[in-house]
Amino acid sequence: MLEYWANQLEGAPPLLNLPWDYPRPAIQGHRGARHPWTLEPELARRLYEVGARYRATPFMLLVSALGLLVSRYSRQTDFCIGTPVANRAGREAEQLVGCFVNTVVLRMDVSGNPSLPALLDRVRVMVLGAQSHQDLSFERLVDELGVVRDLGHTPLFQVMFVLEDSPSDVRRFADLEASRLNVGTGTSVFDLTLEMAQKTDGSLDAVFEYSTDLFAADTIARMAGHLQALLRQIVASPEASVSELSILSPGEQALELADSRSPREAYPQEASLHRLIEAQASKTPDAVALQCDRGPITYDSLNRLGNQLARYLRVQGIVPEAPVVLCVDRSLEMAVGILGCLKAGATYVPVDPSYPAERQAAIFRDAQPHLLLTQGRHLESLPEHTAPVLALDAGWPAVAGLPDDNLVTGPNPDHLAYLLYTSGTTGNPKGIGITHRALVNHGLAMVQAYDLSPADRVLQFASVSFDVAAEECFPTWLAGATVVLRPNEPVPAYGDFQAFLHAQGVTVLNLPTPYWAGWAEESERTAAAIPSSVRLVIVGSEKALPDDLRRWRRAAGEQVDWCNSYGPTEATITASTYRPGPAQDGTVLQTIPIGRPIANVEMYVLDRHLHPVPAGVPGDLYIGGPGLARGYHRQPALTAAQFIPHPFSHDRGARLYRTGDVARRRSDGNLEFLGRADEQVKIRGFRVEPQEIECHVRAHPEVKDARVFLESDAPGDWTAVLAGLGDEEQDRLVRDVEALSAAEARWLYDLESDGEQRRKTVIQRKPEFEVYLKINKEEFLTPPRANQRNWLLRRALDEFSDDLLALDEASKRFVSGSDRADIERGWAESRAEYNPSELIIEGQQVMQDWEAPLMKAMADIVTDGHGDVLEVGFGMGISASYIQAGRPRSHTIIECNRDVMRAFAEWTDKYPDRDIRLVQGRWQDVVEDIGLFDGVFFDTYPASEAEFEESVINSINFAEGFIPVAAKLLRPGGVFTYYTNEIDSFSRRHQRFLLDHFGSFTLSIVRSLLPPDDCHYWWADSMAVVKAVK
């Protein structure tokens, strides 16, 4: 029986990831609701006919349909569904009264693209196997398989299916008719349960019971509609492959396709980008096109400089689409280089001068440039090449004498404008070619999306090697506005950045998300006002977080519009934008959408068979429209794989780009980015392919194989961290980081990370274990600055990790054979009893020899000043004898056990001249009126099972309840002592509780406390003696 289930469930995924509306709680709640509906008799009848045709019972057919629905929603093809069974297989159980119901696990396999009959065959075999092995209880199954428990969800399955196949709406009892009354309990044991029941009229009642901690009511209503649509598809096309069975009705599919397309906007399809810029220069020749370190550059001046460079390129033999490398800093030379290449028809290839030499060389090898444009200061650092070079600063005299009027001829709209390189899976960067037509549509669409006007001053923040640099320039020039170049230096400190914005009157900014998030945090911390000139901030390159948006709204108020932009390089920079309304800050939004497509762009969410998925359901994101790249430079196979024929367009040659991103469309039509379908990651805005790193590592002769993976969804952003500090602070931080060990540096990297989990997760890594801390409440542990919060979390996890390592060492000294379960047995079962002279546990006298070193150490503490001593618990008199050896001024003893009190009289005979007093009763009842003491000695034991449970099992230690009492009974400077096991003494909770009542404490470890071999009540070979000083 167990062998069957072990084989059946081997490798089964522990969690079914349905698209929840709300984050899954760390501890599963059971709040729920119900959504009922009915399948009409004709549909139910036809479903039964389809099942009978393929030897499937109604249960098998309906659970198959539920499996298909769940698979479409979750993007999983292997998962488990639970179902109850009567568990009355044996004849001996047939006549017995009682509940024998068990739960069995149905492992669904909808992989591949089987026909419906083939899927029913799979399900039939699986269901029959489960039913024939139903006698093993679900609880035992979970235990025997060693399933890892998670407080956030039920084990093995989270979706349940229940079918009552006998009519359930009416029951007859002699002259009495009873009908079912559906009553909601407001609870849900599982994430989702589908209950179906036959009615006498042949219809099927259906109810989705769902967790309201995870799902919204409208989501479940849509899911019910999709199940009905799927069932109608099954009866209409019973032999179809499962991919052809849509869960969308024709009307809903048409609506989904319509939501995927932005409104069509007219744009000059036959115009090249530079012609539109020339038209703007002719319209406003004296307006400022560029603000740089050389001052303002007018449209006319910039246009004429571009014309001269274009003619120079033509003289050098540059023809349309000839690649020209542009390796320049953020400068006038950058702007002139771009315009000159566009006008000459060259394809400019932007290369950041700060790129490593190896990457520059890889780009040069692939692009095979006909000419290089750079600056004099970079001439010596260029990789080896054979192309001619022009330094746009020092070599400009060779250009200056050429005519500066517009060229008559130029590239057509389908010629490439630029070739931009990103990370590639083969170990080399891949070039993406963007045409003039794509840039024209993008530029005009962004003018509209960002409301650009001639009055705007748009910051140019990005490196020339980022496609965002093109978005910062081209739409600005098409609108007749001014591009403001930020100084060509590393990412600026936030204070310097704000000062620059104010001085330059910048109105529009396009920032990397990590830098914007840091700026928002710093602005809120310092209460620095956002410059009044700023009207719009655009963020992109990485996922924006709601808590960052909330922080930004607090810092910037409503004066500044905010826009989240999304788009891969292959779709020309930006494909969609999202602007939240005034009320939609991080408090309202669970995630920040990437919005709707810009003009003339299409964005589809499709399943793996290229069918549209419903709103709210994850799918692969595809982009279409005039913004698509031509493809990957010199990689036709990769181009064909990523740019596929458009399945929903009748236009000749129309394509869709497979982004590799997973998204879903919300009910309001906005798209939500969920993550990557592949292993590509973003680090500080750079696209990074782990396979590229693997290829380079494997190239080393001593490396056999390599695997690169992202340890966290939140890559570290040291640039942003340093950017928020002044020069001296930066230097100090760098020195501190350089002094860190590798483990400490790993720690800090995680804590300063940025991404969706930025302020919600912390990971502590040790060779022996990893500690993963998830913060569920945003307001938990929030000092003024994030680095202060990270420091607090790091301290806490450092201590916890040290505790675990110390416990590992302590566990090696545990007594063989001992078991905590013995301690948790009832007091009455322990056979513990008091005799006048000894304590009997399990028939052995264990206390006298074992306690002696502890009692002596504690007695020495309370008698050090020879003052008044209170002893709580007389026991066998061992501790009292040691106290008397220390000659206290007085010795008061509290004891409640009558057998022990009889022994007390014999003991006091040994000390006829001492001040010894006995207070009879429980300490809880007698401590109010016994005076003050210089020392308090605590060593007593539970008097009942309830006291044992409360004070030993569920407390720091047995002295916990007495600690505040001892503080009240002591004179200033008095000492309190008790013992605890070494393990509990590690507890910060224990230590904090002590410091709430005492000024200081010390711990002393007493070793070699070995109990007899047959004593199962002790675990380790050491104890800690506590000395607390008032």
The string of pLDDT tens digits covering residues 606-654 is 999 999 999 999 999 999 999 999 999 999 999 999 999 999 999 999 9
The β-bridge relationship of strands 619-624 and 655-665 is antiparallel
Name the helix (H) or strand (E) containing 311: helix 299-315
> Are the C-beta atoms of 196 and 62 separated by less than 8 Å?
yes
Residue 925 buriedness (CB in 10 A; 0-12 / 13-18 / 19+): exposed
Q: How confident is the model at residue 692 (pLDDT cuts 50, 70, 90)?
A: low
What pLDDT, on a 0 to 100 scale, did the predictor assign at position 175?
Answer: 76
pLDDT at 837 over 70: no
What pLDDT, on a 0 to 100 scale, did the predictor assign at position 730?
Answer: 59
- Over residues 90-98, mean pLDDT: 53
Long-range pairs of 139-146 with CB within 8 A, sequence gap ≥ 24: 141/2, 141/5, 141/105, 144/2, 144/5, 144/6, 145/5, 145/6, 145/9
Q: How confident is the model at residue 691 (pLDDT cuts 50, 70, 90)?
A: low
What pLDDT, on a 0 to 100 scale, did the predictor assign at position 798?
Answer: 77
Distance, CA of 722 to chain centre: 24
Name beta bridge partners: 25. none
Distance CA 886, CA 923 (A): 24
299-327 pLDDT, tens digit each = 999 999 999 999 999 999 999 999 999 99
pTM to 2 decimal places: 0.68
What pLDDT, on a 0 to 100 scale, did the predictor assign at position 145?
Answer: 87
> Are the C-beta atoms of 591 and 22 separated by less than 8 Å?
no
Work out whether the CA dihedral 922, 923, 924, 929 comes out positive or negative.
Answer: positive
Residue closest to 810 by CA, chosen among 634, 569, 987: 987
What pLDDT, on a 0 to 100 scale, did the predictor assign at position 544?
Answer: 92
Q: How confident is the model at residue 578 (pLDDT cuts 50, 70, 90)?
A: very high
Q: How confident is the model at residue 751 (pLDDT cuts 50, 70, 90)?
A: very low
What pLDDT, on a 0 to 100 scale, did the predictor assign at position 243?
Answer: 94
Distance CA 935, CA 432 (A): 81
What pLDDT, on a 0 to 100 scale, did the predictor assign at position 24?
Answer: 86
**What residue ranges define each of the domains in the chain, with the CATH number in brackets?**
29-170+182-247 (3.30.559.30), 711-811 (no CATH), 820-1029 (3.40.50.150)
Q: How confident is the model at residue 884 (pLDDT cuts 50, 70, 90)?
A: very high
What pLDDT, on a 0 to 100 scale, did the predictor assign at position 952?
Answer: 54
Highest mean pLDDT among 169-178, 604-613, 780-789: 604-613
- Over residues 812-825, mean pLDDT: 47
pLDDT at 912 over 90: no
Highest mean pLDDT among 155-169, 402-416, 783-797: 402-416
Kindly report the average pLDDT of the chain as a whole number: 84
Residue 139 buriedness (CB in 10 A; 0-12 / 13-18 / 19+): exposed
What pLDDT, on a 0 to 100 scale, did the predictor assign at position 985?
Answer: 54
Q: How confident is the model at residue 806 (pLDDT cuts 50, 70, 90)?
A: confident
- Over residues 952-974, mean pLDDT: 81
Name the helix (H) or strand (E) containing 64: helix 58-74
Q: Within 13 Å and on the Cβ side, how many CA atoms surround 463?
A: 20
pLDDT at 280 over 70: yes
CB atoms within 10 A of CB 563: 19
Least confident of 43-47, 306-310, 546-550, 706-710: 706-710
Q: How confident is the model at residue 165 (pLDDT cuts 50, 70, 90)?
A: confident
pLDDT at 220 over 90: yes
- Beta strands across the sheet bearing 347-350: 389-391, 371-374, 323-327, 347-350, 416-422, 430-435, 631-632
- Over residues 6-30, mean pLDDT: 89
- Over residues 222-236, mean pLDDT: 96
Torsion angles phi and psi, residue 986, rounded to 5: -75, -15
Q: To the nearest whole percent, how much of the chain has pLDDT over 90?
A: 57
What pLDDT, on a 0 to 100 scale, did the predictor assign at position 171?
Answer: 64
- Over residues 73-90, mean pLDDT: 84
Distance CA 633, CA 831 (A): 84
Encode 696-733 in three state secondary structure.
Answer: HHHCCCCCCCCCCCCCCCCCECHHHHHHCCCHHHHHHH
Kindly state the tokens that stand for 370. 């006909």
pLDDT at 689 over 80: no
Q: What angle do CA 319, 321, 326 make, to 5 degrees?
A: 95
Between 957 and 368, name the one with better pLDDT.
368
Residue closest to 105 by CA, chosen among 81, 88, 70: 81
Q: How confident is the model at residue 28 (pLDDT cuts 50, 70, 90)?
A: confident
pLDDT at 1015 over 80: no
With left for phi above 0 and alpha for psi between -120 and 50, is residue 186 left, alpha or beta?
A: left
